[in-house]
A and B are shown apart, each in its own frame.
Chain A
Amino acid sequence: MSAFFKLLARNRLALAGLIVMGAVVLLALLTPLLPLANPDVTDLGNRFKPPLSEGALLGTDHLGRDLLSRLMWGTRLSLAVGFAAAIIAATLGAAIGIIAGFYGGRTDNVIMRGVDMLMAFPYILLALAIVAALGPGLLNALIAVAAVNIPFFARNIRGITVGIAHKEFVDAARLCGMTDTRIIVGEVLPNVIPVIVIAMSTTVGWMILETAGLSFLGLGSQPPQADLGSMLGEARSALITNPHTSIVPGAMILVIVMAINLLGDGVRDALDPRLKSGALSRPMPTTRVERGAVPAPKRNALLSVQGLETQFHVKNRIYRAVGGVDLTVEPGECLGLIGESGSGKSVTALSIMGLVASPPGVITGGAVYYKGEDLIGAPYEQLRSLRGRRVAYIFQDPLATLHPLYTVGDQLIEAIRAHHPTPRAEARARAIELLKSVRIPNADQRIDSYPHEMSGGMRQRVGIAMALANDPEVIIADEPTTALDVTVQAQILSLLDDLRRDRGLAIIFITHDFGVVAQLCDRVAVMYAGRIVEEGPTKAILNRPAHPYTAKLMACVPELGQGRRELAAIPGLPPVVDALPQGCAFADRCHKVQDECRIGDIGLRDLPTGTRVRCIAPETTVSEAAL
């Protein structure tokens, strides 16, 4: 609760709302004690005195009554009626909601049908009907406003109660033989009250506005008694000649409702955990870049990543997702990038084209050279023209990565036309061709399907077809087969392999599966805690893994026909990347850890097998390799 107030205090606007509201409520409470003129005494000789007149700070109204005094008393009345309506609506609505939610079944059904019916009315119709039946008057307006808001509370509270009614502690209370009433009062109600209070805090502004509205229409408070709404209603006839009589009560309603809205927003924000984590911020079109020195291109590769560092800045924490990664890939080559979940593979891949969500992602160092041109920090338009045209992505889980509301054809056509302005019909023909090239049967019919109408394997083929749409030179495939079953996986892999051979595509293939690497990749880089720990030709690494982590990772893969082999899970968990240890990040999980492993930075060393490893005591020693 105190944390909640702290959060509220940090939200300056909410605090301002709280202060204004507090002041208004205090003034309203003190009104009878203040030295004010009698609000109802008319003085026809002093009609429409302007504000700041002697003896009438805010002037007088059409009957010569003191406006300041009327404003204070009117505010008092409006607040009282608004709060009363809120409390009545909340109490009755909550009672209905709790009964419906707690008993469920028929009771619930009948009650909620009734609530739905009430909600089928535009609220004012219902309020007008009630006032029409009961007759104009402030009390009747209050009843009408409260009644109109009951369904809102009933529906909200019912939802919460349904959740609570099936919790263990309620079952336990039942088993103890408690009566329903005792369970509702003792177990359910305490859990529902916070929700009721929040719902009230967000609706009380509305209720004040609605009662003021009914009074404005002449259906609420009747003369001489006046709330803010009826003051405004009476002043309306003199709007053009004496606008101050309208502005005074109108501005007061505005101030009250605005303060309540600010406060309500603050309360809502304070209670929304997503705001705290920053999960509601929107990712920019390109990842933010804040880097120092730019490493020069080493050699003329098609795509080379050098010293890439990508971090996530969440509040005061810095997560070093990628901590200095070097990769190169040549035409026709397939590079495997392998590692556990959270090792930084995907972030590395997304950094290349500036696709890391930002905020919170920031590229803090390194360079990505595509044909000698640095992509990190490149202007948006340059990156955009390369995205999909030169470097294309295939993502995991195509149900989430394809747009659910466009047909796959539309999405393919868009991919083509994003870079090559072609007539739609032509682009459509090309899209059908693409679908055929990824071996989708009935391509000319499937093109009009929505993603949810296709199987997982088919959707992934669409993802591949989309990546191929503009004949890119590099494809970055981020676990494209992880969500698929093995037979489909094999088909997709052989499809990618064919494409690479036919078109000379360079592929960066991200996976956590050594089987896939063995099947497809020429070279492989193993990542751990944001860095590459071993890198080299696939064959050499599969035959003689040098880094203890690589060896353990391979030992995790079960093999068919090797029935008696022990499956060795790696003990422990990878380190959290906001608190990386000194030295080797794998040290804590390594079976041959030495003291020096934990000191300083350990570089990548060349081994005679043609691989490079980041380890002081690699599994394959130089002498072994020579054998």
Chain B
Amino acid sequence: MAGYILKRLISAIPVLFGISIIVFVIMAMIPGDPATAILGSYATPENVEKLNRDLGLDKPMVRRYVIWLGNMLQGDFGRSFSLNRPVLDEVMDRFGATLVLAGTSFILCALLGIAAGVVSAARQYGWADKAITFAVLLGISIPSFFLGMMMILIFAVQLRWFPVSGMWPIYGARDLSALISHLTLPALALAVVATGVVARLSRAAMLEVLRQDFIRTARAKGVHERSVIWRHALRAAMVSIIPVLGVQAGFVLSGAVYIEMVFQWPGVGRMLVDAILKRDILLVQGGVVFVAACYVGFNIIVDVAQSLLDPRIKT
């Protein structure tokens, strides 16, 4: 197992390189002088020239890439001009909040989605299946930012069950119950789309598995139908559900950008949007590379989970 994890870690290195190259190339597409773009159009020529020198922007592309990569590997992602603090510090602070939000949503979408998919498959064409199928269709069609706004309107403004926005109360203790009450609406709004997708694919995977011979064997043994569905069929279906979960993690992370905007959540997505609007290029660059790298790491965890589940995968 340790060998397998090591192997997956090593295979992630070229992917990380690829990501850094892609981000670098995209940022090199910035029209005009990058230093002007970074400092804004009111910057003095001396400052522009200094920044160009500091960033090595007067050097050829390949050299610039190597310098940039070298700095990043040493933990130097540059300095955000709009916040006037190191990019990495800001990204790390913000990423924690995103992780709380996206992580909760991911767990919700996995649990709810798989449960809905299994029930839907087990009761195929019954009323539960029809209700779930309809809810899933609605869930995957509604824009998460619109859903979030409607949830604020209903549950925060009308019913006053939850706070309207933010991660912490402005006054008062920053404890777990405060976090949960602030987290509930955004986490649900973010989970809905992914839950729909997971439910849909879980249903399909379960239907596929339920026709397999080993399900008949389990029934012939006299195993209770509940176990046939939740133990035998689900375990086998998980082999095709887990990769979907890996993909959905990316979608949850993506959707978090919208939800953070709607709920004023102090996460990395909102930071990126603000940075783009303020043309804080280094902050965008650093944020994108950091989050993408974390996502690659998450996918390694998914692969390892898959190999733990399926003994036929050679570890």
Interface on A for B, CB 8 Å cutoff? 113-114, 116-118, 120-126, 128-136, 205, 209, 212-213, 216-219, 232, 236, 239-240, 243, 246-247, 250-251, 253-254, 257-258, 261-262, 265, 279-283, 285, 350, 353, 355, 357, 380, 384-389, 392-393, 395, 397, 400-406, 414-415, 418-419, 450, 452, 466, 469-470
Contact A133–B277 (Cβ < 8 Å): no
Q: What are 23 A-B pairs at a CB distance below 8 A? A: A114-B18, A117-B22, A120-B18, A121-B19, A124-B257, A125-B254, A125-B288, A128-B257, A239-B153, A240-B152, A254-B141, A257-B142, A258-B138, A261-B141, A262-B137, A282-B122, A283-B210, A387-B219, A387-B220, A392-B221, A405-B311, A414-B221, A419-B222
Contact B152–A125 (Cβ < 8 Å): no
For A246, what are the chain B residues with a Cβ–Cβ distance below 8 Å?
146, 149, 153
Interface string of B133-154 (1 = CB under 8 A from A): 0000110111101100110110
Nearest A-chain residue to B142, judged by Cβ: A254
User: What is the bound-complex CA distance between A532 and B46, given in angstroms?
Assistant: 100
Contact A400–B257 (Cβ < 8 Å): no
Nearest A-chain residue to B277, judged by Cβ: A218
For A285, what are the chain B residues with a Cβ–Cβ distance below 8 Å?
219, 225, 228
Give, as a whole number of angstroms, the nearest-CB distance from B131 to chain A.
14
Within the complex, which residue of A216, A240, A393, A402 is in contact with B145, where a contact is CB–CB below 8 Å?
A216
Nearest A-chain residue to B12, judged by Cβ: A120
For B257, what are the chain A residues with a Cβ–Cβ distance below 8 Å?
124, 128, 217
Within the complex, which residue of A253, A418, A450 is in contact with B143, where a contact is CB–CB below 8 Å?
A253
Give, as a whole number of angstroms, the nearest-CB distance from A74 to chain B.
14
B79 within 8 A of A: no
Contact B149–A236 (Cβ < 8 Å): yes
Contact A219–B145 (Cβ < 8 Å): no
For A128, what are the chain B residues with a Cβ–Cβ distance below 8 Å?
257, 272-273, 276, 284, 288
Contact B216–A217 (Cβ < 8 Å): no
Give, as a whole number of angstroms, the nearest-CB distance from B138 to chain A.
7
- Interchain pairs with CB closer than 8 A, number: 236
User: What is the bound-complex CA distance between A403 and B124, given in angstroms?
Assistant: 23
Q: How large is the interface on B (under 10, 10 to 19, 20 to 34, 35 or more residues)?
A: 35 or more
For A253, what are the chain B residues with a Cβ–Cβ distance below 8 Å?
143, 146
Give, as a whole number of angstroms, the nearest-CB distance from B275 to chain A.
7
Contact A282–B277 (Cβ < 8 Å): no
In chain B between 231 and 280, which residues have their CB closer than 8 angstroms to a CB of chain A?
232, 235-236, 239, 249-251, 253-255, 257-258, 261-262, 269, 272-273, 275-277, 279
B217 within 8 A of A: yes
For B19, what are the chain A residues with a Cβ–Cβ distance below 8 Å?
117, 120-121
User: What is the bound-complex CA distance between A262 and B133, given in angstroms?
Assistant: 11
B111 within 8 A of A: no
Contact B276–A121 (Cβ < 8 Å): no
Contact A121–B292 (Cβ < 8 Å): yes
For B153, what are the chain A residues with a Cβ–Cβ distance below 8 Å?
239-240, 243, 246
Contact B296–A120 (Cβ < 8 Å): yes
B15 within 8 A of A: yes
Nearest B-chain residue to A258, judged by Cβ: B141
B99 within 8 A of A: no
B83 within 8 A of A: no
Other than the given A128-B273, A395-B220, 6 more pairs (CB < 8 A) read A121-B250, A216-B143, A404-B312, A405-B236, A405-B311, A450-B311
User: What is the bound-complex CA distance between A171 and B217, given in angstroms?
Assistant: 47
User: What is the bound-complex CA distance between A385 and B144, given in angstroms?
Assistant: 48
Give, as a whole number of angstroms, the nearest-CB distance from B136 to chain A.
10
For A350, what are the chain B residues with a Cβ–Cβ distance below 8 Å?
216
User: What is the bound-complex CA distance between A389 and B223, given in angstroms?
Assistant: 10
For A386, what are the chain B residues with a Cβ–Cβ distance below 8 Å?
222
Contact A122–B295 (Cβ < 8 Å): yes
For A450, what are the chain B residues with a Cβ–Cβ distance below 8 Å?
311-312
Contact A281–B207 (Cβ < 8 Å): yes
In chain B between 275 and 299, which residues have their CB closer than 8 angstroms to a CB of chain A?
275-277, 279, 281, 284-285, 288, 291-292, 295-296, 299
Nearest A-chain residue to B257, judged by Cβ: A124
Contact B216–A216 (Cβ < 8 Å): no
User: What is the bound-complex CA distance between A144 and B56, given in angstroms?
Assistant: 28
Most buried by A among B212, B214, B277: B214
Give, as a whole number of angstroms, the nearest-CB distance from B223 to chain A.
5
Knowing A133-B26, A261-B140 are in contact, say whether A282-B235 is a contact too (CB < 8 A): no
Nearest A-chain residue to B123, judged by Cβ: A282
B310 within 8 A of A: yes
Contact B122–A213 (Cβ < 8 Å): no
Give, as a whole number of angstroms, the nearest-CB distance from B92 to chain A.
17
User: What is the bound-complex CA distance between A470 and B272, given in angstroms?
Assistant: 63
B108 within 8 A of A: no
Contact B145–A132 (Cβ < 8 Å): no
For A395, what are the chain B residues with a Cβ–Cβ distance below 8 Å?
213, 216-217, 220
B178 within 8 A of A: no
Contact B295–A120 (Cβ < 8 Å): yes
For B138, what are the chain A residues with a Cβ–Cβ distance below 8 Å?
258
Knowing A258-B138, A404-B236 are in contact, say whether A217-B273 is a contact too (CB < 8 A): yes
Contact A414–B223 (Cβ < 8 Å): yes
Contact A118–B145 (Cβ < 8 Å): no
Nearest A-chain residue to B228, judged by Cβ: A285
Knowing A130-B26, A133-B30, A403-B232 are in contact, say whether A250-B146 is a contact too (CB < 8 A): yes
User: What is the bound-complex CA distance between A442 and B300, given in angstroms?
Assistant: 37
User: What is the bound-complex CA distance between A469 and B225, given in angstroms?
Assistant: 19
Contact A384–B137 (Cβ < 8 Å): no
Contact A280–B207 (Cβ < 8 Å): yes
Contact B212–A400 (Cβ < 8 Å): yes
Nearest B-chain residue to A239, judged by Cβ: B149
Nearest A-chain residue to B280, judged by Cβ: A132
